[in-house]
Chains A and B, each alone.
Chain A
């Protein structure tokens, strides 16, 4: 199940929601807001999503992960709105019978989410400037990040 949230992510509650007597392994990934990017001092991040398709595409990613690395349950929450340094921007948790599926599914889910979901990130810099992550770089260099 995937959720796009405009309020802080309660990671402890999410972890509890995955507790399963058949699970022998649990793996979680948290993406945090970092204070620097490519030499720029970042003060905060702003995330924007197109929710209907972010949810649809996110559910596809979870289904693909389950087909490749059969797990018992998985959840993903991605924040939108203004986030401060250190806040959790994305959380993924996977519970599985054995650790290998949990690790691999978690990695697959975050890697796919970053490149497929209609979610955009704007950095607000200490010098007052701001910029959409990836967009300017792609336009300048013609490369995908």
Chain B
């Protein structure tokens, strides 16, 4: 099990009801974290249009996560 701090933004924050939370998870990759938070908060957003960052660096969904990491989950962006 790993202790991961997860940060939610925009729509994800509204679904989760919190901006961040620290979870103890069985997760090997960023995708595992995303899937478990999706189940936890009942979101139906597919990750195909979302982005992820780990410890303030943009990451891929198959990037490994480590105990103590901060995972930032970004819903589809819409700047401009």
CA distance A114 to B77 in the complex (A): 7
Chain A residues near B75 (CB-CB < 8 A)? 120, 132, 134-135
Tier of interface size on chain A: 20 to 34
Q: A132-B75, A138-B45, A144-B49 are in contact. Are A120 and B80 (CB under 8 A)?
A: no
Question: Nearest Cβ distance between residue A124 and chain B, in whole angstroms?
Answer: 14
Chain B residues near A56 (CB-CB < 8 A)? 56
CB <8 Å contact, B74 and A50: yes
| CB-nearest residue of chain A to B75 | A135
Instruction: Verify if B46 is at the interface (C-beta below 8 Å from A).
Output: yes
Given contact pairs A53-B56, A120-B9, A145-B76, a sample of 5 additional A-B residue pairs in the complex whose CB atoms are under 8 Å apart: A50-B74, A118-B74, A120-B75, A121-B79, A132-B10
| CB-nearest residue of chain A to B44 | A139
Contact with B along A100-134 (1 / 0, CB 8 A): 00000000001001111111111000000000111
Q: A52-B56, A57-B58, A132-B10 are in contact. Are A139 and B79 (CB under 8 A)?
A: no
| Cβ-defined partner of A90 (8 Å) among B74, B77, B80 | B80
Instruction: Verify if A31 is at the interface (C-beta below 8 Å from B).
Output: yes
CA distance A113 to B80 in the complex (A): 7
Question: Nearest Cβ distance between residue A114 and chain B, in whole angstroms?
Answer: 4
Q: A138-B45, A138-B49, A139-B45 are in contact. Are A133 and B56 (CB under 8 A)?
A: no
